[in-house]
Structure 1
Amino acid sequence: MNEQQIKQLIYEDEWMMAVLKEAALLNLPDCWVCAGFVRAKIWDVLHGYARTILRDVDVIYFDRNNCDEQKEKALEAVLRARMEDVIWSVKNQARMHEVKGVSPYLSSTDAVAKFPETATALAVRLVEGELELMAPHGLEDVVNLIVRPTSFFKESPALMNIYHERLLEKDWLAHWIKLRTVHETAAEALDAYIVATNSHDFRHVAQLLHERSVYYFSNKTCETKAEIGAYFTAAWQHVVDEHYEAVDRVWLCESVCLYTYRYSGFVDGEYVTGSGRATNVFEKVGDTWLLLHEHLSANPR
């Protein structure tokens, strides 16, 4: 799916075009409809879904001359009067850096480029009847169903915590089941494990496997057992410092391997149950982590 195809999908969507027309009528500087409005459309089409109902529709603009939040509220009221079925969110990006505690944005495009996920860093607007699409990080991730942090977020541990917490709160992978969460380093992936484990969302822990582990799961290669065992071991060695300070690490590693393969359906490194799809493995591994957590809690070493 390329830019022109995405535009065509939007042209053919009466609801999206109505939203864009209303936003354009506000006649605001550097005004766009952004984030989930575009992202969800692409993901819905790639999953064969009907339109996913959005929590809200994000309209952004950039105006340094009037940063009064009350103007944004007034604009939301105008839009609600025109399209009552939409929950509107209007934000002037010239002031949003203060809310987020970051350096001032230079434009709406600069603000969008600094959104949490590359797949969220999208915006569209209608100019004289023609669609303009903004994608500061390109379209490759969103059309390939990849979720990863933007470079801006990766620069800050505090922002990365926000990114991981967003994934838990949004729970996109439960709805758009073909999505893949990608971490470019083992450290990023382990941070995600820890955030998810601390929230006790073990299904999400399983979904936050490193891209390499996803590859081994889905392709059932000979290295599956060694690679995934080593990765789980590394993840748990980080978690154990918080939860099981006195644990015998050798025993812990053995428990990780035992529970992973017993409850995930692995026999001699081969996945032998279900359809063989990686998502089925993730569900089983999610159960594995929960069982192992209960086992470790009940049988401390």
Structure 2
Amino acid sequence: MNPEEFVKSYEKALGTQDWNVVEPLVSENVSVTFSNGTIHIGKENVRKAFEKNFSLIKNEKYAVENIKWLVKDKKYAVYLFEFNWTGIIGGKSESGNGIGTSVLIKENTRWKLLTEHLGRKPD
């Protein structure tokens, strides 16, 4: 798997809303910052945050687009992207979008997410 394939796999994994599918794609040292400013450090904390989102947002559709690679090396890669999502929260249709920065590292022979920072799109 190369970094581009990782992004597609990660996007698809998030769409399953199943941590067991997402978990193999994240590093033990993963950190995620959500667009609301909450920071989650370590695989267990990220798991709890993702599972909370998965339980709140039903039938979520998540998409990544406009990927811009800043660097792709043998052991790490960094990219910028835009994201959008739709789903059902409390019985109501909701949606959101934003921008993100992710760092991937190669652990043994597999690409994994080291950090992801999600933010709001500038007005």
TM above 0.5, yes or no, is no
Structure-1-length-normalised TM-score:
0.16
From the two aligned structures, give the one with the greater strand fraction: 2
Point out the structure with max Rg over C-alpha.
1
Query: Which structure would you say has the larger RCO, counting Cα contacts within 8 Å and 6 or more residues apart?
Result: 2
Q: From the two aligned structures, give the one with the greater helix fraction.
A: 1
Question: TM-score scaled by structure 2?
Answer: 0.28
